[in-house]
Structure 1
Amino acid sequence: MNRNKPLTIAPGKAICYSGFREGQSPESGIYPTYEQIKEDLLILNNHWKYLRLYDCDKQTDIVLEVIQKEKLDFKVMLGAYIGAEMNNFGCPWGGTYSEEELNKNKERNLNQIQKLIQLANQYPEIIFSLSAGNEALVHWTDHYVPLENVIRYVRMIKKGAKQPVTFCENYVPWLDKLKDLVEEIDFISIHTYPVWEYKNIHEAMEYTKQNYYSVADKYPNKPVVITEAGWATNSNGRGISIGNVSQDLQEIYYNDLVNWSEEDDVLTFVFEAFDEPWKGSQEPLEPEKHWGLFTVDRKPKKVMAKLFADSRIV
């Protein structure tokens, strides 16, 4: 049983959602349409109650509009995407920027936080919690933001909006580096990816539990949520062994994860709803592209085959 006090929300399944399809990406500025997002949310509706969104961008505007207009039963954790405010020379894939780029990021980040507050106040019945950023404090990030700046953003959000505030990060920094941040937020949000840490499926669920409780036991008076946990279905062998990913393995991990989350009363956002081909490198088998429970064509993978056996999307 979860030893920490839970968030005061109704039980329900939770999933990370981003709707970018072939030829769409935040970098290109080509976003899913209203009808495409409506199609996605109708697939997810009645199966997941909580959605996690990462960015206060055009896609998020449409998602919130669709939920409101179509009267869909979703509650949203809304995040601000904050970009690099200092160089991180420890990032393996490039975390260095010019002074001009860093200054532009600071300006954009401030706009993101302000937009987050605005949306939180505009959709108080839909948005149930707010995140001041995503994976911007871990040692390998390519968008590093100093801890004191993240704390400043958290305080701005808490001053401007009524919803509980968190920050979403890999489980490791919470164990020591982010103690000052814990004092500022309403609940802790961790990410756990056993497959990225070279664990096989037989070790995976126990490792996820260890990750969760290492943080939850350290802060017994603070609710802890898992905002990302999942299993990829393809890999080019970089970072994740090819033999350690498949639709069969995804199904096993997903079922174990959901069952444990319900038993231990842990709100867990599965990563993620749909494959996103824009992510990572240009290689088709890049793992970043293959975490969805559904393909980019909105076809259910094996993990969803029974649940959607009679669906029009099969």
Structure 2
Amino acid sequence: MQTWILKLLLGGCSCLALSCAASSAPLKIFPTDSVKAISYSGYRSGQGPGRAEPTEAQLSEDLKLLSRHWNTIRLYGSGPQSAAVLRVIDQEKLPLTVMLGAWLKAEVSNPACPWGGIHAEAELQKNRADNQTEVDQAIALAKAYPSLVTAISVGNEILVDWTDHKVPVDSVVAYVKRVKAAVKAPVTVADNYVPFQKGLDELVEHLDFITIHSYPIWEQKDIDGALAFAQQNYESVRQRHPQKPIAIGETGWATVTNGVGIPLALAHESAQDRYFKEMSAWSQNQGIPIFFFEAFDEDWKGGPDPQEPEKHWGLFTKDRRPKLAVKSLYPDLIP
């Protein structure tokens, strides 16, 4: 087993020096050998970005449910919902810590994005200002809840070739430096494994740890080859950056698809069940922090087709009912 941790996530930590990563023992990201982590968004039916927000009572219900099995959640932005989540965890003394996100919008156009990466210059200028504000908010929340915010992820999928919200690497480095100068929590950037596999040395040198995303199902892998594929993704980044700790910030398995992007034969609950169990076992056996994507189905995502896979990654349905993968953990919630 790899023994990873010098307290960089779940309980507050001060050991952030890069010299730690260069020592003979790898730097551990989390201060426990039993990291159970999941990505969380509180949106329910009829809610979504720019629409209705979940109430604090709804957030409390979700967080109490999740804290029965997980001890770390990932949030993607530092806006009102994240502030409310942290407030609820703090006020209700829930046994959860948070990898907080600073959501960065596009600062340049990306013609390589197949679904709309071209932005007017006026929009890009506004986005740059919004990104500054978002980083300020992440810093403020980390300072307000230092025992809960145990890592900060600057941006999400902003570097991969196909992103619709691309941010230049030099801008990302500047944001990372700014956050690191302001808070004690370790700082990362979360993205698809490919950019880190290729390099990004000028960014990685400033990170306390790397966060990668791996989705075998999006790359047309069936469940029999899924675990090995995710392991290969992780290992390729580890070999490229051997002195830097690595977390898997997203991986999961859709349970429904309309056949667009994910073949009909791949998306079903039994496959999600197997993938969740195999990835969880690998995480625990090797000490690799893995955030499973995601807690709940979100029907606001994608277009009007209710079968779009983007809506169906949750381990729970949008009505907070457990899918097969977690039914044994939540038998009281089975209808």
State the TM-score, normalizing by the size of structure 2: 0.91
* 1:19 match: 42
How far is the alpha carbon of 1:6 from its aligned partner? Answer: 1.8
Separation in structure 2 between the aligned mates of residue 179 and residue 276 of structure 1, nearest angstrom: 35
How far is the alpha carbon of 1:5 from its aligned partner? Answer: 3.0
Amino acid at match of 2:62: D
Structure 2 matches for 1:140-179, cutoff 5 A?
Answer: 140-179=162-201
* 2:209 match: 187
Amino acid at match of 1:308: Y
- Structure 1 residues 276-301: Cα deviation after superposition (integer angstroms, max 9, x where no partner): 11111221011111000000000111
- Structure 1 residues 57-83: Cα deviation after superposition (integer angstroms, max 9, x where no partner): 111011001100110010100010000
Structure 2 matches for 1:75-224, cutoff 5 A?
Answer: 75-224=97-246
Separation in structure 1 between the aligned mates of residue 128 and residue 88 of structure 2, nearest angstrom: 30
SS for the counterpart of 1:203 is helix
SS for the counterpart of 1:244 is coil
Separation in structure 2 between the aligned mates of residue 107 and residue 16 of structure 1, nearest angstrom: 27
How far is the alpha carbon of 1:177 from its aligned partner? Answer: 4.1
Unmatched segments (≥5 aa) in structure 2: 4-25
SS for the counterpart of 2:100 is strand
- Structure 1 residues 88-137: Cα deviation after superposition (integer angstroms, max 9, x where no partner): 01101101111110011001000000000000000001010001110000
Separation in structure 2 between the aligned mates of residue 216 and residue 52 of structure 1, nearest angstrom: 22
Separation in structure 2 between the aligned mates of residue 127 and residue 79 of structure 1, nearest angstrom: 10
Amino acid at match of 1:84: A
Separation in structure 2 between the aligned mates of residue 5 and residue 265 of structure 1, nearest angstrom: 11
Give runs of ≥4 in structure 1 deviating > 2 Å.
1-5
Q: What is the root-mean-square deviation in Å for CA atoms of aligned residues?
A: 1.1
How far is the alpha carbon of 1:254 from its aligned partner? Answer: 0.3
SS for the counterpart of 1:243 is coil
Structure 2 matches for 1:233-272, cutoff 5 A?
Answer: 233-272=255-294
Amino acid at match of 2:114: P
Does the CA-based 8 Å contact 2:199-2:240 persist in structure 1?
no
Separation in structure 1 between the aligned mates of residue 298 and residue 31 of structure 2, nearest angstrom: 29
* 1:281 match: 303
How far is the alpha carbon of 1:46 from its aligned partner? Answer: 2.6
* 2:10 match: none
Separation in structure 2 between the aligned mates of residue 170 and residue 2 of structure 1, nearest angstrom: 23
Separation in structure 2 between the aligned mates of residue 161 and residue 81 of structure 1, nearest angstrom: 17
- Structure 1 residues 7-56: Cα deviation after superposition (integer angstroms, max 9, x where no partner): 2422320000001011111132x210000000101111130000000011
- Structure 1 residues 178-224: Cα deviation after superposition (integer angstroms, max 9, x where no partner): 12111011000000000000000000000010001111122221110
Amino acid at match of 2:241: Y
- Structure 1 residues 130-161: Cα deviation after superposition (integer angstroms, max 9, x where no partner): 01110000000000000000000000000111
Unmatched segments (≥5 aa) in structure 1: none
SS for the counterpart of 1:199 is coil
* 1:47 match: 69
Distance change >3 Å, CA 8–CA 243, structure 1 → 2:
closer
Does the CA-based 8 Å contact 2:39-2:294 persist in structure 1?
yes
* 2:92 match: 70
- Structure 1 residues 234-264: Cα deviation after superposition (integer angstroms, max 9, x where no partner): 0111110011010111000000000011001
Separation in structure 2 between the aligned mates of residue 66 and residue 273 of structure 1, nearest angstrom: 17
State the TM-score, normalizing by the size of structure 1: 0.97
Separation in structure 1 between the aligned mates of residue 289 and residue 44 of structure 2, nearest angstrom: 27
Amino-acid identity (%): 46
Separation in structure 2 between the aligned mates of residue 148 and residue 207 of structure 1, nearest angstrom: 31
Separation in structure 1 between the aligned mates of residue 267 and residue 30 of structure 2, nearest angstrom: 35
Separation in structure 2 between the aligned mates of residue 2 and residue 110 of structure 1, nearest angstrom: 37
SS for the counterpart of 1:190 is strand
Matched positions, count: 312
Separation in structure 1 between the aligned mates of residue 317 and residue 332 of structure 2, nearest angstrom: 17
